[in-house]
Structure 1
Amino acid sequence: MERRILSVWLPRLAIERWMKGANNGGESAPEVAVALVIEGPHGQIISAVTDAARAGGARIGARLTDARALEPGLVAVAADVAGDAALLVRLARWAGRWSPLVEVDGADGIRMDVSGVAHLFGGEAGLVADVEGRFAKAGVTARCAVAGTAGAAWALARYASPVGDEGARSTQSSGRVRSARHPHPSAAVGCSLPLPRERERLFPLPVAALRLSAAANHTLNRLGLKTIGALVGVPRRSLARRFREADNPLDALDRLMGRTPEPLTGLADEPPPRAVLRLAEPVADPGILASALARLADPLAEQLAARRLGARRVALVAWRVDGEVREVEAETSLPTREAGHIVRLLAEKVAVIDPGYGIDAFALEARWCEPLAAGQDALIGEPPRELELARLIDRLVVRLGAMRVRRPAARESHVPERASEWVSGIDSSLRAKRSNPADQGLDCFASLAMTGGRNGPARLLDHPEAIGVVYATPEGVPRRFTWRRGVHDIARVEGPERIAPEWWREPRGTRLRDYYRVEDGAGRRYWIFREGVIGDGRGGAPMWFMHGLFG
């Protein structure tokens, strides 16, 4: 299998991040001439610019004083280099949807190994389109390229002309290339090339595509070696004498062509939040367990808050001097970073830990975390009811067990008796399904089906019960029914409301249902249905069932 590397260039990441912040999360900031600057050896250097600043002559890498000579109204804002780097890391982790091996590439790029992945997206062109499209939806300009080496993908993403561009074909055929400056990001589109054509597109690129220093690029241009193709034709020995080892274009050329390996190093897994307590001397008193838990809860909560996470599973680990490790853990129904709640959950479990000959270290770990934004209590100072219910469920589960505390959850079915099920009290599937916009409609539909629509019954029987019905015509409304040895004359009726069978789940021959809301002479209201219709070819006469009660 050929190795394929995808390079993602994010040329406007810093300015787009600033624009979103300047507009409080809106789509775009006011179009003003703004330049993000960093401190250089001889003054402030421009690191990113808006379109208005670019139109005024501001360029990345230029000094701020020179840019203001061209555009006096240029606004300078200090660049947040650390914030941009953190955002790039988050984007790299998010890019794991396309490859298991993703690496941050410099200050404005990501590269990933996509060997054997492209067919999942309809080929490399489809993969590039998917990557660029998803970054665009996130408000980030991206230009991508796929090649056999990391260096080639980096060069094509930043310097190659767009695929299918007529001007690019004409310049390549005449042997000329564009300026070594970065192309305008607005014109950047993805390029995905078959392996035999990669060299053809690499040779016309400027030598700046080799990722050499500015001094090495200047020297090569003075020697007349302005393109990669021109550099390939020069004897290697003569070039090696003119450059230092760090700036040797031959090494960069070998990496570009795959003669020298350039491995990718994936992002290190972020360790889970963890608070550690080490004791000067081993302690065999069981009372140390509760004390250690109380001391570790606050540091763990601070780590969770700093990373905007909430714990779903926490564990207290104790290391004994004899080499044994003892631990207890508890799960929560909702993410939490409240130290007191964590202590209450584990306080009833730590008693099972045997200190043995003594414990000399403790750790409180959040082994399962979920995003948790800052919340606000009610105006009267009370926590939300959902949070109070979650705390009660957590404590009941700790005492009784996860399978002995259950709650109803909606299922993906429009048949009423299948539209709900009992799940563990700490199961997050129901909450996760509702938090997914793609599943909200299905969840709401299942809830409506479970209760029979907008005016459904307050009580739904676990299984429909057969009843005897008297009606004027076979397909008419019911007039009287018998249920549980009682005869009920129907005073009012509303319906029918038809529910079709689930053909993908049920055997052939399953009949449809017509539901009616009926009220007897005593004012009691019921939800009944007729299964099948006359002449449907799926059985004999229709059958009637009781399925729910109102009030």
Structure 2
Amino acid sequence: MSPGKTRAIVSLWFPNLAIDRWSRSTAGQGDPDAALQLVVLVTETAYGPVIDTASPLAQAAGAQAGMRLADARMLVPGLVTLPSDHEGNRRTLERMAIAAQRWGPWSMVDGEDGALLDASGSAHLFDGEAAMLAEIERRFAMRGYTCRTALAPNAGAAWALSHYGAERPVVSDPAVLPGVLAPLPAAALRLNDDTKLLLTRLGLKTVGDLLDVPRASLVRRFRNRRASEANPLARLDQVLGKTHEPLVPLQEKQPLAAERRLVEPLLALDLLARIIADLAEDLARSLEAERKGARRLLLLLWRVDGDTISRTVELASPSRDAAHLARLFDARLEGIEAAFGIDQARLVAVWAESLEQEQERLDAPETTGTSFAVLLDRLVTRLGKGSVSRLAPRGSHLPERSHRRLAPDVEPAAAQYDLGFHQRPLKLLDRAEQITVIYATPEGLPRRFRWRGGLHDIARVEGPERIAPEWWRERSTARLRDYYRIEDEMGRRYWIYRHGLVGDGRGGPPDWYLHGFFA
């Protein structure tokens, strides 16, 4: 900006950000009565839950921000309490600040419920400052958020006017700031609670009261307060434009992408696969330059008639293998209707992680086949993420408890113990099935068993492997198990166990179960 030209800073304040965000998400889930509920969002503290914000109905009934939940329930017994999502509110505020850049070159997050926008030189594109502020509020209202705006030559004055001024105030001339700010309360200077309480006790209730006090008197009173929010003099100089207040713009980092604009509309899907392969090659080069690998890819296709087609795939681990990335979309192209043709395609790495290049060993043997990560990606793409899982070890000697299922993109932790001295089958039944076993003596080896209507003669037996019950989880009547590795007359190998011992005092005769199969 040229020297001497006045800046135009817009303050956007979302007084009901958290509750508006909750109402918007609840309405999106199909609850039309969400706005009619007495809802408060609370945070746990050392003194119990404290209300962060309340719905309009809850506020009208007496629940206010900063009030303890126990006190609020005395006034409003029917309160519905929900935990505050501070991190989610922060991310939403960042997205809203970035969205505000349609009205100016840069923006930033301001506190927990506001944003600042530099609209210098852009107001004329929206029919003036007042019309621009009205459009900003209208746009956010359409998305379900209450927004108050104000325009001033600096950030401090814009914040004060948006929070305590009239509706959509516009102050373009710095010379009139003292007169405009004078009627506002002292809290408009962004002071902390202790300083506001001190000013109230001194009888300085408005900005005009502070301006009327000789500066030397204020210096003597507040010279030891170094923080801006504790020193009214520093805040006065900022809102009047006498001192510079540093502002840090919020810059959105665009995800890596590759794009093709086609000269002729595309009608055949086999040609579309070639376009995707080319896009994957371009995207792989961009990912390599950033030392990253894609975890989630978004394919966007624009048709001639204006409709947009999107397809998404996720990867179990970061990758920038162009052939692998392109192949993941092979099964996702079914059902695409080109209509009058597709004239634009874009491949976006929506989620990317760090991936350093690793040099292969010169003496490493040549390997063939599909890697586990590639196989996992193909299974997830074809079957869906909810249909694919991977197993991870868990601390239990019982076979059915010795593992747990994880999502395909979660790397299992290393096992903390090893039972390598036992031979366990690779295939276990989801639930052990009861069988009938004939044996020579109560403690002898099994000789024949019946399972699912078939009779099997046992040719070889190994065991037992005894597993005691987990006394810290089971009841005192839980019985031990003796596992046997057996082979029938056809050479098929099974893993069976005897549940309990004769005369162990924990039930009747022992039962036999088939639990797994050996290859």
Give the TM-score normalised by the residue count of structure 2. 0.51
Name the CA distance, whole Å, in 1 between partners of 2:129 and 2:300. 39
Length, aligned pairs only: 300
Residue in structure 2 matching 1:158, options 155, 163, 166: 163
Name the CA distance, whole Å, in 1 between partners of 2:251 and 2:155. 19
Matched with 2:133 is: 128
- Structure 1 residue identity aligned to 2:169: C
Any idea what SS the aligned residue of 2:163 has? helix
1:385 aligns with 2:334: yes
The 1:7/1:25 distance shift into structure 2, 3 A limit, reads farther
Kept in 1: contact 2:293–2:320 (CA 8 A): no
Matched with 1:142 is: 147
The 1:344/1:237 distance shift into structure 2, 3 A limit, reads closer
The 1:241/1:75 distance shift into structure 2, 3 A limit, reads farther
The 1:334/1:200 distance shift into structure 2, 3 A limit, reads same
Q: How far is the alpha carbon of 1:270 from its aligned partner?
A: 2.4
The 1:68/1:242 distance shift into structure 2, 3 A limit, reads farther
Matched with 2:514 is: none
- Structure 2 residue identity aligned to 1:95: A
1:385-418: CA deviation from partner (whole Å, max 9, x where unpaired): 246x99xxxxxxxxxxxxxxxx9649xxxxxxxx
- Structure 1 residue identity aligned to 2:24: K
Q: How far is the alpha carbon of 1:44 from its aligned partner?
A: 2.1
Name the CA distance, whole Å, in 2 between partners of 1:140 and 1:257. 30
The 1:265/1:28 distance shift into structure 2, 3 A limit, reads farther
Residue in structure 2 matching 1:346, options 300, 322, 337: 322
Unmatched 5+ stretches in structure 2: 258-280, 302-308, 348-519
Any idea what SS the aligned residue of 1:72 has? coil
Any idea what SS the aligned residue of 1:241 has? helix
Q: How far is the alpha carbon of 1:159 from its aligned partner?
A: 0.6
1:101-121: CA deviation from partner (whole Å, max 9, x where unpaired): 100111100111111111111
Matched with 2:313 is: 337
Residue in structure 2 matching 1:249, options 220, 226, 232: 232
The 1:337/1:131 distance shift into structure 2, 3 A limit, reads same
- Structure 2 residue identity aligned to 1:265: V
Aligned positions of 1:285-364 closer than 5 A: 300-302=293-295, 304=296, 310=298, 336-337=312-313, 346-347=322-323
Q: How far is the alpha carbon of 1:71 from its aligned partner?
A: 1.7
Any idea what SS the aligned residue of 1:67 has? helix
The 1:139/1:5 distance shift into structure 2, 3 A limit, reads same
1:220-276: CA deviation from partner (whole Å, max 9, x where unpaired): 0100000001001212232233332111110011111111111321113326369xx
1:269 aligns with 2:218: no
1:306-358: CA deviation from partner (whole Å, max 9, x where unpaired): xxx61679xxxxxxxxxxxxxxxxxxx96653559x9898349xxxxxxxxxx
- Structure 2 residue identity aligned to 1:256: V
Any idea what SS the aligned residue of 1:69 has? helix
Aligned positions of 1:203-218 closer than 5 A: 203-218=182-197
Matched with 1:48 is: 53
Name the CA distance, whole Å, in 2 between partners of 1:28 and 1:92. 29
Kept in 1: contact 2:149–2:162 (CA 8 A): yes
Kept in 2: contact 1:205–1:227 (CA 8 A): yes
Name the CA distance, whole Å, in 2 between partners of 1:48 and 1:159. 19
- Structure 1 residue identity aligned to 2:134: A
Any idea what SS the aligned residue of 1:141 has? coil
Kept in 1: contact 2:104–2:117 (CA 8 A): yes
Q: How far is the alpha carbon of 1:54 from its aligned partner?
A: 0.6
Name the CA distance, whole Å, in 1 between partners of 2:193 and 2:319. 58
1:67 aligns with 2:48: no
Q: How far is the alpha carbon of 1:198 from its aligned partner?
A: 3.6
Name the CA distance, whole Å, in 1 between partners of 2:33 and 2:17. 13
The 1:257/1:343 distance shift into structure 2, 3 A limit, reads closer
Residue in structure 2 matching 1:191, options 169, 177, 183: 169
The 1:344/1:33 distance shift into structure 2, 3 A limit, reads closer
Q: How far is the alpha carbon of 1:19 from its aligned partner?
A: 1.5
Q: How far is the alpha carbon of 1:3 from its aligned partner?
A: 0.7
Kept in 1: contact 2:184–2:207 (CA 8 A): yes
Name the CA distance, whole Å, in 1 between partners of 2:63 and 2:314. 49
Matched with 1:2 is: 6
Kept in 1: contact 2:299–2:346 (CA 8 A): no
Residue in structure 2 matching 1:260, options 243, 254, 258: 243
Q: How far is the alpha carbon of 1:154 from its aligned partner?
A: 0.4
Percent of aligned pairs sharing the same letter:
42
Q: How far is the alpha carbon of 1:76 from its aligned partner?
A: 1.7
- Structure 2 residue identity aligned to 1:192: V
The 1:64/1:385 distance shift into structure 2, 3 A limit, reads same
Give the TM-score normalised by the residue count of structure 1. 0.49
1:57 aligns with 2:38: no
Name the CA distance, whole Å, in 1 between partners of 2:98 and 2:170. 23
Matched with 2:395 is: none
Any idea what SS the aligned residue of 1:2 has? coil
1:468-513: CA deviation from partner (whole Å, max 9, x where unpaired): xxxxxxxxxxxxxxxxxxxxxxxxxxxxxxxxxxxxxxxxxxxxxx
Matched with 1:240 is: 219
The 1:255/1:30 distance shift into structure 2, 3 A limit, reads closer
What's the Cα RMSD here? 3.9
1:18 aligns with 2:18: no
